Amino acid sequence: MTIITRTQLSDLLHSGECVVEFTKVNGEVRSMPCTLKAELVPPATVKVLAEGEVPKVKKENIDVITNAMLDVNRFGTSAAAFKGASYNAAGKTGTAQVFSLNSKTYSHSSTPEFLRDHALYIVFAPAEKPKIAIAMVVENAGFGAAQAAPIARKALDYYIEGRWPKEIPEWKNAP
């Protein structure tokens, strides 16, 4: 089990990995910050990447990942959050454990709020030709599909469709 601190999570999200994933999906190749330092080259050798070098990824592998991420929003953990969307979004939910359970059972409701799991979610849309990518952490909120995915859906609805979330007063009407 790996425990990640808020600082490590922030560093990861600011490392450019999400942007790298977004550009890979579009089939583009551009030099971005990336934590990948080497790639496995069959039969079992490791090729060390030069500074700024982007690993080569086959289109068929990108398609498999994209389809899996689409299925997360169609049939998987975040399907409820994206039900009825007018666009196809490809996403992945996650949960980051804040503290070690030491083989004990986790109970969200009985865990002090500051020790509750972080809800994670990454998404890009429209999946066919992405215009926006979101990487989200909702601290101490629990399961990514239940807490982070619905927030991302509202952000995508606004960005793609111009539909302001009804729960939030519009800026022009805000005090």
Instruction: Give residue-wise pLDDT tens across range 24-44.
Output: 445 554 444 444 555 555 665
Banded model confidence at residue 98, pLDDT cuts 50, 70, 90 = confident
Choose among 132, 127, 121: nearest CA to 158: 132
pLDDT value at residue 88: 96
> Can you give the pLDDT at residue 109?
82
pLDDT score for 172? 60
CB-count burial class (<10 Å; 0-12, 13-18, 19+) for 5 = exposed
Indicate the pTM of the whole model. Answer: 0.67
Contact 32, 93 (CB under 8 A): no
If one compares 102 and 158, the residue with the highest pLDDT of the two is 158
* 9 vs 150: which has the higher pLDDT: 150
- Using the predicted structure, report yes or no on whether residue 3 has a pLDDT greater than 50: no
